[in-house]
Structure 1
Amino acid sequence: MNTKKISLNLIILLSIAFLTTLKAQNTETLKLADPTIFYHKNTYYLYGTVENAWDGGFKVYTSTNKKKWIDKGVVLKKGDAFGTKGFWAPQVFERNGKFYMAYVANENIAIAESNSPLGPFNQKVKKSIDAPVRMIDPFVFFDNGKIYLYHVRLDDGNRIYVAEMNADLASIKEETAKQCIFATEFWENTEKVAWSVTEGPTVLKRKGLYYLFYSANDFRNPDYAVGYATSKNPEGPWLKYKGNPVLSKKNTKVNGSGHGDFFTDKSGKLNYVFHTHESNSKTGKRRTAIISADFSKGTNEFEVLKVNNSTFKFLYK
């Protein structure tokens, strides 16, 4: 009996079985729209809008390597905080040892808190942030002792605004509200609709310059894409980058690429998590993906951001 040959064949069979099992475990893409990733103590926490118009709140997935994502269940449940429907676009951040989730429900913005990124997030007083119009897509930004709420106002289109927040994180100084971005360029409104859309704001500060990233077009439009504008002040005025969009179906080869958030991974690399359409032939569910990005020297004294197309990948559970 040739024991060496048998042992080799056994190793091959076991390897095939292992790879088959591994492939089966990584064939279901995550379907969170408007995603955000919060990195804390060597763990990535992924939140987003649950597909199929689920109105129960938000879930979280965790990973230690950005490859395998584990479903950790509901972190904000309807009834524990403001809202009865339309739970969209969460952002999670830490402040003074507490964890906060800014989110949309009933086309208003609210902020809930927790002792853990795993939740549960709740509010002692279940209310949204007061505003004269409906507001969606929050992004809370801390800078030089002030707190800013970048958000979208549903006012003759989806228009991005910024306002100072009060220290309680439950209200804004409405008198400080300023419009930042609305659709003025072709790539931002490719179907030339009357109600144009700019949404999903995210802000980065680098070398004294503020970068406001946003998505444009309706999310159902194949041309949904991401661009940015810069300013020397967190309140603007904002100058749109001439190379927009910086992320679109041209980068990913998948329709509807946009509405995400930046995070820095454990190696110090900048990443953008976002969603795409599930299919290029019809609008339906959305899939969650990430792509790495980096700043490089531009044509003037400011740096420009570019994504690395080769790093684009979907997230799997």
Structure 2
Amino acid sequence: MISINIFNRILTITLLITLSHSAFAQKAVIGNPIVKGYYADPTIIKDKGVFYIYATIDPWGGKELGVLVTKDFVSFETKHINWPTKAACTSPTSNGSMVWAPSVRKAANGKFYMYVAVGSEIWAGVSDHPLGPWRNAKNDHTPLVAGNKYPGVHNIDADCFIDQDGQAYLYWGSGFNWVNGHCMAVKLKKDMITFDGEPIDITPPHYFEAPHMLKRNGLYYLMYSYGKAIDATYQIRYAVSKTPLGPWAEGENDPILSTSRDSTTVGPGHHTVFQQNGQYYILYHRIHPQKREYVLRELCLDCMNFDSRGNILKIRPNGIKRF
């Protein structure tokens, strides 16, 4: 027979284990938005076990980017970085100093490259560390893509994709007045800033802006936003190809993420995708409920899954139960 003292000890230990597991589960729940503050157009990298999220600071960009550092998506540390430089901000074709929509990748040479919209053109920065210091990747201090380079193309929203063979590609482009979106693409040479050939228009069906490339099981998924970023029509779609430059077949289940019926998620878009422990996650922004003359947005995180045929399933914007 177990004595009362031993029984009480067992009960106490069991209670402590239960509370510990409960506390861990509670800590692992990640609701939307994932962090306080107004951010949009996120990109993410993981380096040495740390996630770095780079984003536009709302309303609609400013003189610096938002940078959030986290290991668990529960605790975040806000950082300041020195990119873009004053030279970029005062470029005659950049439409002022507004900086937004970054893409950051770690290249084969160990350096970090940032492709960012400054006004209406794409600039490139390089650094030895995710937080900088950053410098212009081009020695002549000119934009990678000038604002007036391709008529009819709004030269913003760059995304860099590095294939499994090490070949890098740059995608970018939007439309004007919420119509006629164009997606441009080009191979990059090993220096990550020199174009290997002329950029081409690879615009897939129902595209407006914010391209993001993903490769899975030999298929290339060009993901992007469609609709107006200022209202509930904004949504995330995708197209599939066997090559990184198309041709494209419109994805099944499109749109995979759009305004929810209960309006808890409004105008989701401009996203990035990453993997952690075999699970795909989609990081994006949505419109914060408000009564303002401009739109404020907030960052959200959800699981992204595929069916047996490789189609992206519709995303349930509920946040992450365990990361």
Name the TM-score, length of structure 1 as normaliser: 0.77
Once the two structures are overlaid, the 10-residue window that deviates more, 268-277 or 242-251, is 242-251
Aligned residues: 271
What is residue 86 of structure 1 aligned with on the other side? 98
Deviation at 1:108?
0.8
> Is 1:48 aligned to residue 55 of structure 2?
yes
For residues 210 and 52 of structure 1, do their structure 2 counterparts lie closer, same or farther at Cα, with a shift above 3 Å needed?
A: same
> Is 1:178 aligned to residue 201 of structure 2?
yes
> Is 1:242 aligned to residue 265 of structure 2?
no
Q: Is 2:181–2:208's contact at 8 Å kept on the other side of the alignment?
A: yes
Give CA deviations for 1:108-153 in whole Å, capped at 9, x if unaligned.
Answer: 1111011111122221432212443441111112234532111115
CA separation in 2, counterparts of 1:75 and 1:45?
A: 15
What is residue 121 of structure 1 aligned with on the other side? 134
Residue 270 of structure 1 is aligned with which of 280, 298, 302?
Answer: 280
> Is 1:152 aligned to residue 173 of structure 2?
yes
Once the two structures are overlaid, the 10-residue window that deviates more, 278-287 or 118-127, is 278-287
For 1:1-317, list aligned pairs within 5 A.
Answer: 29-79=36-86, 81=88, 84-95=96-107, 96-123=109-136, 124-130=139-145, 131-133=149-151, 134-143=154-163, 144-154=165-175, 157-173=180-196, 175-183=198-206, 198-250=208-260, 253-265=264-276, 267-279=277-289, 284-298=295-309, 303-306=310-313, 308-309=315-316, 311-312=318-319
Structure 2 SS opposite 1:38 = strand
Q: Is 1:148–1:162's contact at 8 Å kept on the other side of the alignment?
A: yes
For residues 273 and 80 of structure 1, do their structure 2 counterparts lie closer, same or farther at Cα, with a shift above 3 Å needed?
A: farther
Unmatched 5+ residue regions in structure 1?
Answer: 1-18, 20-25, 184-196
Q: Is 1:81–1:112's contact at 8 Å kept on the other side of the alignment?
A: no
Q: Is 2:103–2:115's contact at 8 Å kept on the other side of the alignment?
A: yes
- Residue identity over aligned pairs, in percent, reads 26
The one-letter code sitting in structure 2 at the alignment partner of 1:87 is V
Structure 2 SS opposite 1:297 = coil
For residues 311 and 166 of structure 1, do their structure 2 counterparts lie closer, same or farther at Cα, with a shift above 3 Å needed?
A: same
Structure 1 SS opposite 2:195 = coil
CA separation in 2, counterparts of 1:154 and 1:273?
A: 23
Structure 1 SS opposite 2:312 = strand
CA separation in 2, counterparts of 1:211 and 1:160?
A: 14
Deviation at 1:159?
1.3
Unmatched 5+ residue regions in structure 2?
Answer: 1-25, 27-32
CA separation in 2, counterparts of 1:53 and 1:311?
A: 25
The one-letter code sitting in structure 1 at the alignment partner of 2:133 is P
Once the two structures are overlaid, the 10-residue window that deviates more, 275-284 or 225-234, is 275-284
The one-letter code sitting in structure 2 at the alignment partner of 1:114 is S
Give CA deviations for 1:256-315 in whole Å, capped at 9, x if unaligned.
Answer: 1111101123x23211111011116666210111111122213xxxx11125526426xx
For residues 75 and 47 of structure 1, do their structure 2 counterparts lie closer, same or farther at Cα, with a shift above 3 Å needed?
A: farther
Q: Is 1:55–1:78's contact at 8 Å kept on the other side of the alignment?
A: no
Structure 2 SS opposite 1:137 = coil
Q: Is 2:229–2:267's contact at 8 Å kept on the other side of the alignment?
A: yes
Deviation at 1:164?
1.9
CA separation in 2, counterparts of 1:308 and 1:132?
A: 34
Deviation at 1:28?
6.3
Deviation at 1:220?
0.5
Deviation at 1:249?
1.4
Q: Is 1:109–1:135's contact at 8 Å kept on the other side of the alignment?
A: yes
For residues 110 and 28 of structure 1, do their structure 2 counterparts lie closer, same or farther at Cα, with a shift above 3 Å needed?
A: closer
